[in-house]
Amino acid sequence: MKNSVDTLSLNRPPSRWETLAGVRLQNTEPVKEQLLQELIELESQLAHLKDANGRHDFSLVQTYREMIHSRRVMFHQLNR
C-alpha cells in the first residue's frame, strides 16, 4: 500500500510554485486568465458543434473534450 501512495507523488513538482518541467511560477494570474478565456471559447465551440444540424463529428467532439479537460486540470493545479 505504501508503495502505491509513493508512486502517486512521482509526478508532483517539488514545490507548488513549479511545474513538472521545473519552471518557477511566480505570478500565475495571467496564465489563469488565459486558461479561463480558452475554456470559455472551447466550451462555446463544443456547444456549437453539438448543435450544428444534428450531425456530429465524434472525433472532433472528443478532441474538444480533451482540450477542455486538460485546461481545467491545469487551472485547478494553479489554484492549489
As a residue count, the chain comes to 80
pTM recorded for the entire structure: 0.65
- Positions in the chain short of pLDDT 50: 1-7
- Residue 12 exposure: Cα atoms within 13 Å on the Cβ side: 10
Rounded distance between C-alpha atoms, residue 46 and residue 64, angstroms:
6
What is the identity of the amino acid at 43?
Answer: E
Residue 75 and residue 64 in contact, taking contact as beta carbons nearer than 8 Å: no
What pLDDT is attached to residue 25? 65
Residue with cell 513538472: 20
Q: Mark out the alpha helices in 9-57 (DSSP H runs).
A: 29-51
